[in-house]
Structure 1
Amino acid sequence: MSIETETQVGAFEKIASGLYLEGLAVDHDRGAIWYSDVIAGGIHGVMRDGSTRSFNAGRMWTGGIMMNADGSVLSSGPGGIMWNNPDTGKSGWLIHEIDGQAINGINEMMPDGTGGIYFGTNDIEKVITGETTRPTALYRLTVERQLIRLADGIGFTNGIMLSPDRTRFYCNDTFVCTWAFDVGPDLSLSNKRVFLDKIDVDGMALDAQGNAWITGFRSSHLTRVRPDGTLLEPVQTPAGAITQLRFGGADMRDIYFNSVPADGGDGLKDGVLPTRHDSVLYKGRSEVPGMRIDPARFDLG
């Protein structure tokens, strides 16, 4: 189907499927939606006209996707962050080492508002074997590719968001809660505190009013939280559980989210890989517009 098809509030349409869909990005310039399948591998795109494109076919465990200003698609996962330009076919590594050591894994990414990105690490080695993961950290990679360590001791970094005024930063700690941080003038993070006390927080997006929309790998609804922590009415969906969501469309009221079976996240945690293609990318419609996620501005050569 064409992703430009009008969808009504409360209605949901399936636009793609796979084994376990995770990373998600709206490509406003191409009118495309890019998503990852962490088990089947690869980055896949549903284009404006309904056609599809794919690359990185052999790369599993890509948890995050976002755009760069030159049209390249950034994708996280084992070894660090890759870039692929779907138009030229060129690709490379944005970052593949931390402190001179090979990167175990990187999960979600978020623009820092100055051309660089924030990102969180994850313990891919333990995820693959179904063992308890080791603590992870948050970093910022400046547009000049200076790497800055910002926060330690997070159990499993997942969905991250930066408020439009760059004063507040959110990070899902998948099996613990959603954390909030204050953001300094130098984009550093401080004053870590619980924002949402929920033990299955996964992906995240912000709407234009600054409310956080948070997914859960055991939750079929989208949890919505005001900046002051007040819970809003959740958005119910036909999903078993939801890994990630993004806003898109000309008016930023389209919502796209990856769903998995209700027990899919717990199975993955225990090292049980799905074998059925019943993970679905849905398109829905929001009553309020979402916050646009602008591309990073790295010079990829």
Structure 2
Amino acid sequence: MPDEVPTLHAVPVAGGFTFLEGPRWHGGELFASDFYSERVLAFRTTGSPTAHHLARTVCTVPGRPSGLGFTPDGSLLVVSMLGRRLMRWNGRTLETVSRFSDLIDGVANDMIVTDSGWAFIGNFGNTDAAPHSLHETALVRVSPDGTADLQGGGLNFPNGMVLTTDRRQLLVAETFAGRVSALSVDWDAAGVPTLGGRRTWAQFGDAPAYLDADRARRELPVLPDGLAIDRHDRVWISSSTGHGARLLAPDGTLLAFVDTGELSAYAVALGGDDHRTLYLCCSPPLGTVDPARTTASVLYAADISALR
């Protein structure tokens, strides 16, 4: 990081997980998926936002949970990665909202849910076992009644997503392209979102002319993974091979960095009182361990009130 960019240091607040992802702040708790234990967890602080957090199991999701979101009535939506379906937890039971294995052939992944209850779901564009089979893919759009289709094609491993405050742009992390893309969003009178044209919002390193996850991991300086956006349209970007998260202004200017030490931040979320805390789901850097065989994933938190 440049010397003139403020660097904050995150602290661990809960640990012992397989691979934390998809954090979302809701109702005074941080919700996150733990991939290989197949659990959705909720974390609540025991004191300040950077004090130890207690975790409870919300539900168990077959096929590995990933992206999370909440419907207008407060029900939890969760992506089953291997099941390639969207599920709903209403506090008592887990039910399938939509199956979309006919639309994608890769593993389902992160998700954003709009205020009107529509979901956009990313996917690997390959399978877990075949990192060299990467190919361009699209987002799955799921309506509140479970109807699914594809939107925004030509994406390279679409991952974390955020909507700008005017709801006119969907920012998507394309992990193995080393970029964040902006897709235009059109809304009809009923609150139905449709994705339009795409532009590069941020590019880290030279745009690769290849589709190769392993090569991208070796050659690109940042592999954008999870995103979080604040009320000023500043975007926090985590990197699966980095050691923290970057804060970028709407014009792409680097504003700050939150350091997570030896671990990489795979996903980020704003939470706590007035969103003064940045939560980071951290694990060893991509490719260094088998997360299915470890419990090295840690939830970190950083006080970012000085950056507001």
TM-score range, shorter chain: 0.7 to 0.9
Rounded Cα–Cα distance in structure 2 between residues aligned with 1:84 and 1:120 = 20
Aligned residue type for 1:278: A
Q: 1:40 aligns with which of 37, 40, 46?
A: 37
Rounded Cα–Cα distance in structure 1 between residues aligned with 2:66 and 2:296 = 18
Label 1:41 to 1:267 Cα distance change in 2 as closer, same or farther (>3 A): farther
Partner of residue 78, structure 2: 75
Give yes or no for the alignment of 1:196 onto 2:202: yes
Aligned residue type for 2:294: R
* 1:274 shift after superposition: 4.7
Q: Percent identity?
A: 23
TM-score, scaled to structure 2:
0.77
Q: CA RMSD in A?
A: 2.7
Label 1:60 to 1:148 Cα distance change in 2 as closer, same or farther (>3 A): closer
Rounded Cα–Cα distance in structure 1 between residues aligned with 2:119 and 2:61 = 25
Residues 250-269 of structure 1 aligned to structure 2 (within 5 Å): 250-262=273-285, 265-267=286-288
Residues 1-301 of structure 1 aligned to structure 2 (within 5 Å): 10-28=9-27, 31-47=28-44, 51-54=54-57, 56-57=59-60, 59-76=62-79, 77-79=81-83, 80-85=85-90, 87-88=91-92, 90-97=93-100, 104-123=106-125, 126-176=127-177, 177-186=179-188, 187-198=193-204, 199=220, 200-262=223-285, 265-267=286-288, 272-287=290-305
Residue 39 of structure 1 aligns to a residue whose secondary structure is helix
CA contact (8 A) 2:70 2:113 kept: no
Question: Deviations along 1:77-115, whole A, 9 cap, x unmatched?
Answer: 222111223x32x1101211366x687532121123323
Rounded Cα–Cα distance in structure 2 between residues aligned with 1:103 and 1:279 = 28
CA contact (8 A) 1:255 1:284 kept: yes
Residue 287 of structure 2 aligns to a residue whose secondary structure is helix
Label 1:137 to 1:42 Cα distance change in 2 as closer, same or farther (>3 A): same
TM-score, scaled to structure 1:
0.79
CA contact (8 A) 1:21 1:281 kept: yes
Rounded Cα–Cα distance in structure 2 between residues aligned with 1:97 and 1:145 = 10
Greater helix proportion: 2
* 1:223 shift after superposition: 1.5
Question: Deviations along 1:181-217, whole A, 9 cap, x unmatched?
Answer: 2222443223312222124110000012101111000
CA contact (8 A) 1:37 1:60 kept: no
Greater strand proportion: 2
Aligned residue type for 2:256: E
CA contact (8 A) 1:13 1:284 kept: no
Higher mean C-alpha deviation, range 210-219 or range 43-52: 43-52
CA contact (8 A) 1:40 1:60 kept: no
CA contact (8 A) 2:86 2:96 kept: yes
CA contact (8 A) 1:267 1:273 kept: no
Gaps of at least 5 residues in structure 2 are 1-7, 47-52, 205-219
Gaps of at least 5 residues in structure 1 are 1-8, 291-301
* 1:45 shift after superposition: 2.0
Label 1:97 to 1:13 Cα distance change in 2 as closer, same or farther (>3 A): closer
CA contact (8 A) 1:96 1:103 kept: no
Label 1:25 to 1:232 Cα distance change in 2 as closer, same or farther (>3 A): same
Residue 63 of structure 1 aligns to a residue whose secondary structure is strand
Aligned residue type for 1:235: V
Residue 299 of structure 2 aligns to a residue whose secondary structure is strand
CA contact (8 A) 2:137 2:157 kept: yes
Label 1:193 to 1:118 Cα distance change in 2 as closer, same or farther (>3 A): same
* 1:55 shift after superposition: 5.0
Aligned residue type for 1:38: F
Label 1:129 to 1:148 Cα distance change in 2 as closer, same or farther (>3 A): closer
Residue 14 of structure 1 aligns to a residue whose secondary structure is strand
Rounded Cα–Cα distance in structure 1 between residues aligned with 2:137 and 2:195 = 15
